[in-house]
Amino acid sequence: MSLLTPDSGLLFWMLISFGIVVFVLAKFGFPVILKMVEERKAYIEESLFMAEKARTELDKVKVESERIIENARNEHLEIINEASRLRDLLINDAKTKAAGEADKIIENARVQIQSEKEEAIRDIRRQVAGLSVDIAEKVLRSKLAEKDEQLNMINRLLDEINISKS
């Protein structure tokens, strides 16, 4: 039966057309499509992977930033505490120093005043002694202007010496 015997014309055309179809599609058609789909698949996978990575990275950064903020807050508190401690210390120090200085100045002043006072007293004494000698001289001179008096005086002095001797 003719149904089961391949016809030569049809074989010929089938060989040509199927050959061309296979050549064109297997070279320029399907590989392009398959390659692109493959590339898209790879791209999606990579994107997902990158997104996952970015997410974990972000989480890490978040934790890190929180840690940094916490640290900064602690440091801030510490610095403030330290500053107030230092301030107190400085003030106290200044106070004691100032007090000591003042005491010293007062003491110096007192010593100086004392020495000045003594000097003044000594001076006054010296002047008083000179003055009294001068006055005594003048008094004696005026009293011993006459001869009698001079003699009286000498006698009295002699008496006095005698009496004290005896």
Partner 1 sequence: MSGKLKIFLLLLSAFILTFHQVRASDAVAAGKEEPLNVREFILEHISDSYEWHITTIGDKLVSIPLPVIVYSKISGWHVFMSSEFHGGHAHEGLFIAREGEYKGKIVELDTAGKEIKPFDISITKNVFSLLFSSVLLIIIIMSVARSYKKEGFAPKKGFVAAMEMFIISVNDDIIKPCIGKDYKRYAPYLLTVFFFIFINNLLGLIPLFPGGANVTGNIAITFILALCTFFIVNLSGSKEYWKEILWPEVPLWLKLPVPLMPAIELVGIFTKPFALMIRLFANMLAGHSIILGLTALIFVTVSMGQAMNISMTVVSVVFSVFIGLVELLVAYIQAYIFTMLSAVFIGLARVEPHRKH
CB of 42 to partner 1, least distance (A): 9
Q: How near is the Cβ of 16 to partner 1 at its closest, in Å?
A: 9
Instruction: Give residue 116's identity as a one-letter amino acid code.
Output: E
Q: Which amino acid is at 128?
A: V
Shortest separation between residue 20's beta carbon and partner 1, angstroms: 7
What distance in Å separates the CA atoms of residue 107 and residue 28, rounded to the nearest whole number?
Answer: 113
> 153 with 144: CB under 8 angstroms?
yes
> Could you list the residues that contact partner 1 (CB under 8 A)?
2-15, 17-18, 20-22, 24-34, 36-37, 39-40, 43
Q: Where are the beta strands (DSSP E) in the chain?
A: none
24 or 68: whose CB is closer to partner 1?
24
41/97 with CB nearer partner 1:
41
Return d(Cα 5, Cα 84) in angstroms, integer. 111
Q: Which two tokens stand for residue 165?
A: 């001797």
Answer yes or no: are the C-beta atoms of 147 and 153 closer than 8 Å: no
For the bound state, the minimum distance from the C-beta of residue 53 to partner 1, rounded and expressed in Å, comes to: 22
Query: Is 32 or 151 the residue whose CB approaches partner 1 more closely?
Result: 32
State which residue, 34 or 161, has the beta carbon closest to partner 1: 34
